[in-house]
Amino acid sequence: MRGLIGQKLGMTQFWLADGKVVPVTVIQGGPCVITQIKTEKRDGYSSVQLGYKDKKESRTTKAQLGHFKKAGASPKYFVHEFRDLEVGDKKEGDAVDVDMFVVGDLVTVSGTSKGRGFAGVMKRHNFHGGHGSHGKSDQLRAGGSIGASSDPSRVWPGKKMPGRYGGKRASVRNLEVVAVDVDNHIVMVKGAVPGPNNGFVELLDRG
């Protein structure tokens, strides 16, 4: 399994070899530093912790400074742990980059979706809204009835209602890698990925 941390730079279009134009998301992938390697014998499971983007020491806690110093790396802004990640003969303090991916790979991209704030049921749950006739003037975007009165005398858990929308972890699977620029640490994947521009994402290829 291969994995990398990056930042979403934005979307554009890309011409394939057969002349087709596809929408792509441009991701600045790494370079990341291995900040910790966990083993089954010592930690109970195997994983690799990667750190991305340098961070000022003045903005890093003493505990984190000690953690990065032990790995021989400078403080990092974003740290993520990948289970069963393949790093070959690399050790703590070594760097990993986008050269682990090749055109045609199918990757899962995870990140935090855009926060939309408090939203109604039409935006949050795709309700179609109420009828626009028969005297209705103030209930066009309302959700309608939310349950019975005397029985069960409550609203069932999970009822689709207005509330905070977005700002949650989301993943998009099987995005095809259409271009890799090792010199500039760029990966282009076909389609959209979660989060705003400059948001942190994780790329994962389970092979």
Total of domains in the chain: 3
Q: What's the CATH code of the domain at 106?
A: 2.40.30.10
* 3-state class (DSSP) for residue 71: helix
Q: Does residue 172 sit in the same domain as residue 107?
A: yes
Long-range (24+ apart) CB contacts under 8 A made by 64-72 are 67/35, 67/36, 68/35, 71/33, 71/34, 71/35, 71/36
pLDDT tens per residue across span 147-168? 888 888 899 999 999 999 999 9
Q: Does residue 11 sit in the same domain as residue 67?
A: no
> What pTM was estimated for this model as a whole?
0.84
Residue 88 in this model has a pLDDT that exceeds 90? no
Task: Report the C-alpha gap between 110 and 29 in whole angstroms.
Answer: 13
* 3-state class (DSSP) for residue 144: coil
- Examine residue 89 and state whether it is found in any structural domain, yes or no: yes
- Examine residue 122 and state whether it is found in any structural domain, yes or no: yes
Q: Does residue 62 sit in the same domain as residue 123?
A: no
> What is the residue range of 50's domain?
31-96
Q: What's the CATH code of the domain at 58?
A: 3.30.160.810
Residue 108 in this model has a pLDDT that exceeds 90? yes
Q: Does residue 43 sit in the same domain as residue 125?
A: no
- Examine residue 85 and state whether it is found in any structural domain, yes or no: yes
Smallest CA-to-CA distance from 35 within 2, 64, 71, 62 is with 71
Q: CA angle at residue 47 from 32 to 26, to 5 degrees? A: 35
Smallest CA-to-CA distance from 182 within 103, 77, 119, 114 is with 103
User: Do strands 117-119 and 163-165 pair parallel, antiparallel, or not at all (unpaired)?
Assistant: antiparallel
Q: Walk across the sheet containing 95-96 and list its strands.
A: 76-83, 47-54, 32-38, 95-96
- Examine residue 14 and state whether it is found in any structural domain, yes or no: yes
pLDDT tens per residue across span 155-205? 999 999 999 999 999 999 999 999 999 999 999 999 999 999 999 999 998
Whether the CB-CB separation of 177 and 187 falls below 8 Å is answered with yes
Q: Does residue 104 sit in the same domain as residue 206?
A: yes
